[in-house]
Amino acid sequence: MRLVVARCQIDYAGRLSAHLPMATRVLMLKADGSVLVHSDGGSYKPLNWMSPPCSVKEVVSEDGQVEWLVTGKAEDTLRILIEEIHHDSSHELGVDPGLQKDGVEKHLQELLAEHPATLAEGLTLVRREYPTAIGPVDLMCRDAEGRSVAVEIKRRGEIDGVEQLTRYLELLNRDPLLAPVRGIFAAQEIKPQARVLATDRGIACAVVDYDALRGLDDPTDRLF
């Protein structure tokens, strides 16, 4: 890992073309050859970058200008024209053990599979990841009357999720052994437009409380 603070000008040509005027920025050169250009603000996203695998070549022109030419896989090129280097240091980091996550959609699905009745009175699980020709339905359930219920789970419920569930329901309802199948759109948060679309299509919405579900679950069975 090499960290450079330099006044530089940058041009990128690849899937798009982009240009950064001369200014002072941080250049992060990782061990795999990838390069990140950060300014003092914005977000975690660099102003510009080159993804690995790629290689950096230093070019010095006749008039003494230093340029770093970063070339990637396809026709991606990042040209960094260096005017002045304020800082330059290299560091040995080693391999990172990596990130452990908890609280993503998969966990929500696991919890709802264990407690389907929180979605609707008397709901019982038939199976998780119920397979169909166009992909698996998150939860296939049966209601108190024994009718099929397809559940689509999202962390954040938006219009795409309703579209997805609609496709499943359309397909499932062609199967006379299952039909009629109704749908429940479950999410920790449901956007108004998604709710309107779901309601218009006769799909029920269920807002899920992740922490409450965790409370129902065995508290010893945690990641950390």
Which residues contact residue 20 at a Cβ distance below 8 angstroms, ignoring those fewer than 6 apart?
8, 9, 10, 11, 37, 47, 48
User: CB count, 10 Å around CB of 67?
Assistant: 16
Residue 179 to residue 182: CA distance in whole angstroms = 9
Segment near a copy of itself (CB under 8 A); pick from 14-22, 70-78, 123-131, 176-184 = 14-22
The H or E element spanning position 162 is helix 159-172
**Looking at 76, 163, 178, 206, which residue binds a copy of itself (CB under 8 A)?**
163
Residue 10 to residue 47: CA distance in whole angstroms = 10
Task: Name which of DNA, a copy of itself, none residue 20 binds, using a CB cut-off of 5 to 8 Å depending on partner kind.
Answer: a copy of itself
Chain centroid, CA 175 distance in Å? 33
**Looking at 55, 60, 86, 131, which residue binds a copy of itself (CB under 8 A)?**
86
Which residues contact residue 4 at a Cβ distance below 8 angstroms, ignoring those fewer than 6 apart?
26, 27, 28, 29, 85, 87, 88
Task: Name which of a copy of itself, DNA, none residue 191 binds, using a CB cut-off of 5 to 8 Å depending on partner kind.
Answer: DNA
User: CB count, 10 Å around CB of 139?
Assistant: 24
Chain centroid, CA 156 distance in Å? 12
Residue 132 to residue 173: CA distance in whole angstroms = 12
Task: Name which of a copy of itself, DNA, none residue 38 binds, using a CB cut-off of 5 to 8 Å depending on partner kind.
Answer: a copy of itself
Closest contact distance (angstroms) between CB of 105 and DNA is 4
Task: Name which of a copy of itself, DNA, none residue 25 binds, using a CB cut-off of 5 to 8 Å depending on partner kind.
Answer: a copy of itself
By beta-carbon proximity to a copy of itself, the closer residue of 143 and 158 is 158
**Looking at 59, 84, 87, 216, which residue binds a copy of itself (CB under 8 A)?**
87
Using rule CB under 7 A, residue 42 touches DNA: yes
Residue 148 · residue 175 · CB < 8 Å: no
Task: Name which of a copy of itself, DNA, none residue 176 binds, using a CB cut-off of 5 to 8 Å depending on partner kind.
Answer: none
Residue 214 to residue 224: CA distance in whole angstroms = 13
In the region spanning residues 106 to 135, those forming contacts with a copy of itself, defined by CB under 8 A, are: none
Task: Name which of a copy of itself, DNA, none residue 114 binds, using a CB cut-off of 5 to 8 Å depending on partner kind.
Answer: none
Using rule CB under 8 A, residue 223 touches a copy of itself: yes
Residues at the contact surface with DNA, assessed by CB under 7 A? 12, 14-16, 18, 42-46, 48-51, 72, 76, 78, 99, 101, 104-106, 134-135, 154-156, 158-161, 164, 191-194
